[in-house]
Structure 1
């Protein structure tokens, strides 16, 4: 009996030594070019916690994106956050998180929101570059900017590249997409165009109604504003002219009006009302107007008989501590992401 116990103990020791720990490796994964993407910088951890890494790629679909401060010409940063108990022997569901305007995937607040929400979730999160003004669309009039095929870049290149290089579960049932503001638009836009790719979609205060004159004004203003990136582009670059009778692309591409393709998908919409409009009025008004587009989307989902969740949290006081119901309030977005992640992945 003693000899048998010693043998079992020895076998257990060997198995423990040969199995990788249930945490990220010391080095992030090495990535291989493919699907039209060339890796221009290999992954590096963003901090000592070794949960989030960033790498960059180039693509002929968006070879010359407009640039925010600190971004490099022709190089698209992509940020990946791994589960806190990541293991190289397992595969994980993946969510794509699309940033807003004028933001970038490697901003610290995006990292904080994702890491907090997924700390105990068995879920990989990928944040691709959407430029300050990419609008998650294939532009119809890019002009001197050259090809700006953001939708092709993300859906036909980034997704298969990620599945080929990371330990994802590469199927619809284990893939979700969500975004904030411009990214909320992008998430519904992508899910409606390619419903076979995603099982869940979410919008955090997205500008979802391209038939809304205020949303049109907001989008066209991002084209000509240096704060959205340099160089600036023509106001009609993404969707063409916003004026009738030349506004057919705006009408056709409006996520609020294409909800029928989302049938069978888990759908979650989140919005505040801006709270006190006299406090931080710009962010208050932005949220208030985004809410109107969210309600139009919800009405069209109901009309199509499609189940969905709507979290219309008003001034935010009942949604999360510190949430003011304003557009880029980190506490509100954190609560949105916490809830959306709870719909996707088992807790570790």
Structure 2
């Protein structure tokens, strides 16, 4: 389980700001006690859909709710790695509901939640946030590898890395693999997608491209509008080693960010293309950074991503699409310990707690 460092958080935020602006008890003497039952094994995964399982699921700890496994994909055969990662090996983290039984008839809805940049899918805080938000909830949560700078997109100019089709990897490979190997509800009515920061963009991006797959979408301080500040953040993530090695060209992901060559950026900016979300549940969460003189890099970063949610809300209203925008400002009334900074665990916990309640209401009605 990866520990998510505060230095990494600052690296992501600094790119945005700097370029434009994370049993038993002993028995008494008597008859011999029966042998202890073996701990339940995590589910076994079979290959398929262009994915090869190179490491079978392993429990993250003794609670036996969360496991990780590794795959290789023909859509992202190599990528820029963070320390400890192996290029081409993709970790997927899954949290199961308490009492999950692969041999039983019960099926569960799934929330696919996408991590930020630069972050590991199995970062300890991701596990903690998910397990706390879903305690006692009949919901499976899946966090796939998005790379330190994958941006949940099929790259325009991947260069020497080769194919970087992150969107195809997740939507056409990971989702059907999960449905084939776990007791899911394998329909739109049984799926939600959410994400933080880069992952918030990814969640909206995927939901807009494939509304047939998801019934609810959530952005936690997501980079929803590719305005000049967010373009600087993406370009910065391409150039800075903190987001993975090797670094890549500034136009690798979405092409040139400069007009009139910025057509892909305009086409993929999530805030302006919400029409396909009609009929889907939509939720956005953001703070305003609180006191901008305290932890100013993360404060300003959150302040600016909040503006992208404001832009998305404008377009949602224009389309007549209902949405929830938890605009929690300095966080003092949102979650214990939340002070409105970017990528703060206390704020993200409150975001996920709220989102899980929303999606379970919809799943219960379906």
TM-score norm. by structure 2 comes to: 0.87
Indicate the RMSD between aligned Cα atoms, in angstroms: 1.5
Following the alignment from structure 1 to structure 2, what is the Cα–Cα distance between the partners of residues 296 and 70?
Answer: 37
Instruction: Name which of 195, 214, 227 aligns with 1:179.
Output: 195
Aligned equivalent of 1:318:
333
- Indicate whether 1:203 and 2:216 are aligned: no
183, 202, 224: which one pairs with 1:167?
Answer: 183
Partner of 2:87: 73
Q: Which residue of 2 aligns with 1:296?
A: 311
Q: Which runs of 5+ in 1 are unaligned?
A: 1-23
SS at match of 2:329: coil
Q: Which one has the largest radius of gyration?
A: 1
Unaligned runs of 5+ in 2: 1-37
Residue in 1 that maps onto 2:25: none
1:64 aligned counterpart, secondary structure = coil
| Aligned residue in 1 for 2:244 | 229
User: After TM superposition, where is structure 1 displaced by more than 4 Å over at least 4 residues in a row?
Assistant: none
Task: Note the C-alpha offset of 1:246.
Answer: 0.3
Which digits, 9 at most, give the CA deviation of each residue in 1:52-76, with x for residues without a partner?
A: 0000000110000110011112100
C-alpha distance in 1, partners of 2:49/2:334?
Answer: 41
**Map of 1:264-343 to 2, 5 A cutoff?**
264-343=279-358
- Structural mapping, 1:232-251, within 5 Å: 232-251=247-266
Give, in whole Å, the separation in 2 of the partners of 1:343 and 1:121.
Answer: 12
Distance 2:126 2:74 in 1: 27
CA distance in 2, matches of 1:75, 1:265: 33
Q: How many residues align?
A: 325
TM-score of the superposition, structure 1-length normalised?
0.92
Question: Bigger relative contact order, structure 1 or 2, given CA contacts below 8 A and separation 6+?
Answer: 2
Offset, 1:145? 1.0
Inter-CA distance 248–290: structure 2 relative to 1 (3 Å threshold): same
Partner of 2:117: 101
Paired with 2:99 and 2:352, the residues of 1 have a C-alpha distance of: 19
Following the alignment from structure 2 to structure 1, what is the Cα–Cα distance between the partners of residues 184 and 79? 28
Task: After superposition, give the CA deviation of every residue in 1:126-145 in whole Å (9 maximum; x if it has no partner).
Answer: 00000000000000000011
Structure-2 separation of matches of 1:26 and 1:286: 43
Q: Which residue of 2 aligns with 1:85?
A: 99
